[in-house]
Each structure stands twice: as C-alpha cells, then as structure tokens.
Structure 1
C-alpha cells in the first residue's frame, strides 16, 4: 500500500492545484472576453491560436506533476512543453497560409493539432514522471503503467466533474431567471465566473482522486476485471473475422471503402484492452488460464490486422494517390506495426508470460510521439507529402488531368496545395491550366474576381441602393470573414435596404449567399454586415447582425429577406454610459414578446 504523505504537504499540493486551475480559468476568460479589444480582431485570432493549446494542455504538467515530480523537473518540463506547443502552433499557422480566395483565415488551427499535441504531452509526461521518481532512465514497468492509468482516470474524472458543475450553474441560472432575478442568473453564467469555476472543479477533482489512492486502486482493479472480459470477447470475435476471410475473400472488405479505418480501429481496441488485462505484468500466476491464453492470442492477431490495413491503404494510394488522411493512416500503420511485432514476439515466447509487452509498450509510446511530431512538422506534413505525390502523378502521366482532384489541392492540402495549384494554372498544358484555374475560382463566395455587385440581389423587391453606395470604392476583405464580398467581386449576396434606426436615412445590410462545396457538408451564413453613411457621406460598416447556426435557419432568413418580410424591432431601452463605461441593455426573456 502506498504510504500517504503528511497532511500539511497534501494540503499544500491541493492549494497549488486549485490555484493553477483558477489561474487557467481566469486566463481563458481574459483571452476570450478581453483580448480582442486589446489586440484587435486580426491579431486577436492569432493570439488565441497560440493561447488555446497553451492554456488547455500546458497546465496539465503542473497539475499532474506537483507532488510527484521534483520542482526543478516540473519547471523544466513545463517550459519544454510550452516551447513545443508554440512551435507546433507556429508551423500550423504557417502551413494554413494567409487568407486567400476564402480559404484559411488567420488564426485558424487545424482540427487535429490540439488532440495530437495533447497526446504528445500526455505520453511524454508519463515517460518523464516514473524516471524522475525512480531517479533513473528506465524505472520498473509497473511505474509507467500505474501513472498512465491513474492520470487517465484523474483527467476523465476532472472533465466529467467540470461538466457537471457547468450543468449545475446553467440549471441554477435558469431557475433564478424564472424568478426574474436576472442579476443572479447573469452572474452564474458570466464567463468571468464560469471559466475559473470550471478550472477549480477540474483541478479539485484531480486532487481528490490523487489523494484517495486506495479508492483509485480499487476502481482500476475493477476496470482490469472488466477489461479481461472484453479481451476474451474482442479476441474471439476478431479471430473469427480473420478465420472467415479465406471463405469470403477480401473483395467485400475492400468494397466498404473504409477497410483501413475499420482494421486500425480494431487494432487500437485490441491493444488497449490487452494492456488493461495485462496490467503492470506482476503476479501473472494470478491470471486465469483462459485470460493468459486470450492475451497471448490477441498479441498474435495484431500482425494480420495491421497487414490487412496496410494493404487496404496501399491499394487506395495506388488508385488515387496520397491524401492527408492516407498519410495519417500510413503513420498509424507504422506505429501499429511496432506493437504488432512486439506483441507477436511476446505471444510466441513460452516463458515468462507476455514479458516483452512492457518493452514493446515503451517503444510504441516513443514511436507514437515521433510519428505525431513528424506529422505536425514540415518533415512529414500530410499536406506537403500529398501535394508532392499528386503533382508527381500528374506530371508523370500516370493520371489524366480530369482524374486529378484540383479542388482538394485548394481546400484540403493547405498552402502546399494552393501554391501547386497556382503553378498548374500557369502550365503550358491547356487542360491542366484550365482545370487549375477553375479550381482556384471555386471559392466559398464564388469567384474572387469579376464585376462588383454583379452577384448582388437588392431587397425588398423594387428597392434600389442609396446614392453613393454602389459608386463607393470598397476595400477588399478576406472572404472567409466578410459577408459583403459582393461589394468588390462577383460573389452572390443579398443587399437589404432598410431604415433600422428610424432616422429617415436607410442602412444597407449585406447577407452572403454561400454555395455548397463538394464534400464540405454545406456552408451557409450566420451573420450580416450593417452599413450606414457617416456625416461625410462615406458608407462604413457599423456592425453585424447574427443568428443561430443552422442550415434551415439561414435558408428561412434569406427567403424572408428576398420576399421583403424584414421589419426593424426598436430596442426596449437604450444602453447607459457611466463615465465612459458602456452598460449594455439585455432584455429579459419573458419580455421579448412585448
């Protein structure tokens, strides 16, 4: 049994964790609520791109490490983790490229960056912590297993408890709002309150599960028993699947068009439950003969599963070339192959039972970190490798121009694809150049060029634009942000002429119309730009109108605007200015119908 630390020390550790959680929440609130006013919209997006991974991932190092790592180790590892995250974000922003033709707005992180960065930091933390505690590079395998499972349980508990606290705050706010105690309800849902409270809840849950190590050990013991049952079930079913292949052939599997994903998911599941059933490798004699045989068989099944996944991927690559998803799949196959070889070796050895599993897991962890870092860097950037492969296939004549997905080069291959597309647009091959130019002009808002206002529809029916609005020289804005791109291009939009403030002078509202992109799942507007004329007669953007995200909502709003059913609603009460501080009026929900 683990000897508990002295109570004062545990209290100090708890206080440190709570302070870190509170600081994390307050800093998140600052960046979400205040940073835009300080840095402006454009720089704020880039600042947030750096801040979000740092604030979500880096605090885990001291929260998990305090009391278990030496102070110098915590500080050094925290600095290294922050440096690593900054470098990963910097490259991710660079590869996205500047906003061009409606693609890649500033500060837009790739969807895989934060999950992959979290995985890297989590794995490295659990390679560092046992080594620091044992004061040697290779501590006992049980130390790695205990820390990894313990922290996984703590993080899961912390996230769940924080979500529960958030739900309680929201429910309580609704109850107070029902009593028309709007001040209390707004306080309970204010970001300056919610974010620090969630940080405290997460850190407190992590500390509570860390202190009660006996309870945690009992839960992990139960999880091991359940994992043993799952191991028997999953191993039996996967063995049956592999035995059925000689009778069914591989064609039905390839026909699914996602065979590699299915096989890799099965491999990951098998690795997870085998490790849960194996535990830390101590007392193998306590395992039942059935479980020992199951784990041994599972180790042997990994190799054919990984082999089939790699075959499926190579067949698709031979047919259609590399894509970012397939590069990630190849990396997953490479890491899975490390586990497959090690587990097969462990399964074939008679004595001791699966003893090579520990070494394989450590090598696999290092391989996973290396693979992720390579994929998130220029060395093995999936977009760079995919672009090079697709261009090589085209230039070598292996594929005809009509078989190349030029749209993917523009929208899915980051700046590498767009730069290649620009070169192809200037190609001497007319077929290639025409298709490349067509792909470049297929934007979120339609062609970036063309005659201004050519795609604009004036509403309500019969209305005309105010004097000077069409004639004004409109500056070009990034299409990904600007609803009124039709003011300077041939993009489609609706221009609603309406007197919003009742002063007798109409304003112009610009609603963008966004066509669906192939494979995008549909893109549609969620805001409109409001333009009004200043005292010098110059039309300027005054703000935006927004509505909830949703295809049906957007279609209904645009249809109503075309039909002339837009009616201004005067505000109930104005805002209040107190010594330069603006107090914004927010109507009570129960009074919205008045």
Structure 2
C-alpha cells in the first residue's frame, strides 16, 4: 500500500485546484485578466495544473517536504516556459497560434513524467537503475490513465442522470452540468478520489503493467521480423520507392521508435535474464544492432526535403525525433560491439542518460533557445533571399497558419522589402492579419463596407439600393464578416441589350467568387457566376484600375430544342 497523504488533504488539494482552474476559465469567458493576456493565462494554467497533479501522484507522508522541494522548482520552470508560449500568441487579436499551446501541453506532460520518476527514484535511497525507473514510469502512467478513465466514466454517469431527469422535465441537473463553476471542481474532486483509490492498490497497477509487458513480449519478435524483412528488401527496391510515399522518413522512424520501445519494455529486468529462446534472442539482437540503418535512412530523407524546401516546423520536429532515436540506436550498437551478449548493461546506462536528454529537449522546444517557428521563419526567408523561390511563388500563407507570432513579425518586416518588388503581396499579407477574435461582435456598417469596394467604371453607375442589398447579404449572419476581403463592383453590358449589368466580385486570400445582381420585381437578386482563375490571382485591383475589363463572346452557342436548352461546357 502506498503511504499517500491523508484523504481530506488530497480532496482539499483537488478542490482548490478545481476552483483555480474555474477562475482561469471564467477569465477567458468573461474577457478579464488573466484571460485577456495569454502570457499570464498559459503561465498560471501550467502551474495550476502541473504542481497539484505531480504532488497527488507522488507525495507520501514520509517524503512530502523533500518531494515538494524538487517538484516546486520544476513546476515554476514550466510556468516560466508557459509565459513564453503565451507570449507567442501576441498580438492575440491578429494571430491564431494555438498549436504551440498543444505542443507545450504534450511536451510538458512528457517532461513532468520524466522528472517525477527521477525524483521518486532519488528519494527512494536506492541505486538508480533502468529497471526501477521503468517500473516507476509505468506505475505513474497507469495510475494517471486510470484516473482519467474514472473521471470520464463519472462524467458520463452525470450526463446520463441529467438526461433521465430531463425526460421527467426536471432541467435543473442538465443546466447544472453546463455551469463551469460546477463541472470543473466536481471533475477535479473525482480525479482526487481516483488518486486515493488507485494509489492504495499499487499491486493491481503493477499487475496491469506486467500484463502489458507480456503482450509486448509476444509482439517484439513479430516487429523484429518485419523490420529485418524491410531492410532485406530495401536494396532491391531502392529508396526512391520509399520517398514516393511522401511519408517515407515518418514510416521508418515509427518502425524504429516502436522497436526501441518494445525492446526497452522486454529487456528492462535488472537480472538480465533472457526472456526468449536463444534463437529469438539472437534475432532481436541482430534487429537492435541494425537500428542505426533506420537513422541513416531517415536523416537522408529529411536532408533531401530540407535541401529542396527548407525547414518547416514539422521538419524541425522530425529532425529532433530522428536525432533522439539515433542516440538510442547508436548507443545500443556501441554496447553490442563492446559487450556482445552483455549489451544490456549498456542499454541501462544509455536509457538513464537519454532520459535526461529527452527531458531537456522537451523543455527547450518551449523556450527561445529552440523555437521551431522562429527557426522555420528564418529558413524560409533565407530561401527567398537566396533566390531559391520567387517573391510571387513564396508561401506567405504558411507564415500565417503555421508560424504564429514569428511568422507575423517576419512578414511585417518583409512588407518593406515588397514595396518595390511585389506590392500586391503586401495586400495579401494585410488580409491575413485581420481581427480574428470576436468577429461575432464586430461593429459592422455600410460605411466600412464601402471602403472595401472598388467601383468600375465609377461609383455613380451603381444604385445605392444595390450596394445596400449586397451589404445585407454579406452580413446576414452573426459570423459573417467582410474583414480581409476586397469587393469589385463591375458595371458592364453582358447581354447586348443596351442596359448595364452589375457584377460583384468578392476576393480573399483563399478564393475569388462572383455574382451577377439582377433587379426583379423591385428586388435585387444574386445569381452565381462560374469563375476560372488559372493563375490563382488573389489581387485583381491593378487589373481593374488599368481597365483590363472586356466582354468575350462565347465560342459555343447554346442549342435550343423546344423549351430545352443545352450549353456546351468546352474548354
């Protein structure tokens, strides 16, 4: 039995954590501090989540002070990194950089579990070994997973009960479950209760761990056969076939990562007892020795991509993962070369030291020292200045949807350079960074809408009621917006009847659409027009201002048979 903290104290910690998380959530909902400042919001959320969670998972009556002494500085460091991650959301009204928060959450979880097992091992006063670290890591992971499973089931039961009462026309419980001040603290209390339960039955947790390891023990030989079979056929098929998939390096790294994970799960016993017959053991021995080949293949594939297209956030992550897997693989190979069948001694040393390396990198990727968005922005900009990509073909949109703050700052600087080279791209950049948050409350007016309109040949050719009709159609829904768009009102006789026809073109960075507006029974109605934009032109203002507007007679006339008409669709 785990000598955990008294039950009332655990429940109190869970309740306080739930109240603090509720306050943070409400600050976002009601747009008050810290919800209005991502720097503070992410920082406070990181500490509020990580510190109580790690305490509940690890502290016992005997080591409470010592554990807090090591975990508090770590969670404060996470909070500081969270502040930097939150800062990457600025300016909050112009950029959407939620991906860095997701990455921060995932990497912080890995780092937290690494720190937790090292602290637990250190405070146990036992000699550090991979087998003990492995046991602690699996125990923490299974307890954490079981607690979340308990919370999800509990949440489902609450909704089931609310649904049953709703059938009886008692809506109180259903409405209560929609209140964050109720559901967040209650779920936190459920998590704390689950901690009490599962930490009291550690033997059951260890049995689950043993079952999972047994399954992996039977899967490792199959995975090794697949791995060796792939390497055996590769010389005959060549790497070109692998690269054609577009995900060759990713597939190779997945195979390498699974092999490493399975090997560590099976060969972690400190007794070094062989879990397989000597033939299977030798087969796995060979498979592990050949793992560096996968590192070479992955590194070569990544180098080809980077050389062709430069660094991106995804490729930076792939390089980091490839590097970490290579360290494990070459470390094992070195042990095999030096110690042959006693290579498991090296495996333990490599895993202990590489655990620290992984921990460090999981923290660095959330810091200015290893900001993949900044690295990618610099790489892509360098390709532009080196002439590897033209100003017209440059992927400006990537800076917006993948590089967050770093992309925003880079493009704002680049705008000065574009003035004399590609001024149309400045408009495209400005369209990207509109007020994306709170559009449903955006102050919309016909005067603001008119500022986005380019009239041809002149504004006097267009009736005011037509402009009003287009405005009402554009803003008919709460979520509708004209931000980041340009509108071209074209007056041209399209059917040779001596009367002007009115075409409204809506242009954004993502699409160009057009409607012809006709007056029927004193009401303006719109009709869809097919748009052919072979060069994907996203800025036609210069074409309109230079009067490059003409009417083209169709090459193919319409065939009419009685009341039936047939219009050829021929390029």
TM-score above 0.5, yes or no? yes
Counterpart for residue 130 of structure 1: 121
Q: Report the Cα offset of residue 195 of structure 1.
A: 2.1
Q: Report the Cα offset of residue 237 of structure 1.
A: 0.8
**SS at 2:65 equivalent:** helix
Counterpart for residue 196 of structure 1: 185
Counterpart for residue 363 of structure 2: 373
Q: What is the correspondence of 1:143-542 to structure 2 with a 5 Å cutoff?
A: 143-187=132-176, 190-285=179-274, 287-348=276-337, 349-352=339-342, 354-427=344-417, 430-431=420-421, 434-435=424-425, 437-443=427-433, 452-454=448-450, 486=482, 517=510
Q: Report the Cα offset of residue 108 of structure 1.
A: 8.5
Q: Report the Cα offset of residue 41 of structure 1.
A: 8.6
Structure 2 residue 16 is matched with structure 1 residue 23: yes
- Cα 1:291/1:123, change in 2 over 3 Å: farther
The answer to whether the Cα contact below 8 Å between 1:452 and 1:489 also exists between their aligned partners in 2 is no
Q: Report the Cα offset of residue 437 of structure 1.
A: 4.8
The answer to whether the Cα contact below 8 Å between 2:400 and 2:432 also exists between their aligned partners in 1 is no
Q: Report the Cα offset of residue 210 of structure 1.
A: 2.4
Structure 2 residue 48 is matched with structure 1 residue 55: yes
* Greater relative contact order (CA < 8 Å, ≥ 6 in sequence): 2
Deviates more, 1:435-444 or 1:204-213: 435-444
Which TM-score applies when normalising by structure 2?
0.73
2: CA distance, partners of 1:68 / 1:302: 44
- Cα 1:64/1:285, change in 2 over 3 Å: same
- Cα 1:384/1:228, change in 2 over 3 Å: same
Mind listing any 5+ residue stretches in structure 1 that lack a counterpart? 471-481, 493-512, 519-561, 564-594
The answer to whether the Cα contact below 8 Å between 2:313 and 2:373 also exists between their aligned partners in 1 is yes
Q: Report the Cα offset of residue 227 of structure 1.
A: 0.6
Counterpart for residue 121 of structure 1: 112
The answer to whether the Cα contact below 8 Å between 1:409 and 1:417 also exists between their aligned partners in 2 is yes
Q: Report the Cα offset of residue 150 of structure 1.
A: 0.6
The answer to whether the Cα contact below 8 Å between 1:131 and 1:139 also exists between their aligned partners in 2 is yes
Counterpart for residue 499 of structure 2: none
- Cα 1:246/1:181, change in 2 over 3 Å: same
Larger Rg: 2
1: CA distance, partners of 2:26 / 2:231: 54
- Cα 1:398/1:185, change in 2 over 3 Å: closer
Q: Could you report, residue by residue, the CA deviation over 1:163-194 in whole angstroms, capped at 9, with x for unpaired residues?
A: 11111111111011111122233345543333
The answer to whether the Cα contact below 8 Å between 1:29 and 1:191 also exists between their aligned partners in 2 is yes
1: CA distance, partners of 2:38 / 2:86: 11
Counterpart pick for 1:87 among 46, 59, 80: 80
- Give the number of equivalent residue pairs: 469
**SS at 1:39 equivalent:** coil
Q: Could you report, residue by residue, the CA deviation over 1:111-132 in whole angstroms, capped at 9, with x for unpaired residues?
A: 3111111111221221221012
Q: Report the Cα offset of residue 216 of structure 1.
A: 2.3
2: CA distance, partners of 1:172 / 1:147: 37
2: CA distance, partners of 1:55 / 1:163: 21
Q: Report the Cα offset of residue 463 of structure 1.
A: 9.9
1: CA distance, partners of 2:159 / 2:336: 52
Structure 2 residue 133 is matched with structure 1 residue 141: no
Mind listing any 5+ residue stretches in structure 2 that lack a counterpart? 437-441, 454-463, 473-477, 488-505, 512-524, 527-571
**SS at 1:239 equivalent:** helix
**SS at 1:222 equivalent:** helix
- Cα 1:185/1:375, change in 2 over 3 Å: closer
Counterpart for residue 70 of structure 1: 63
**SS at 1:279 equivalent:** coil
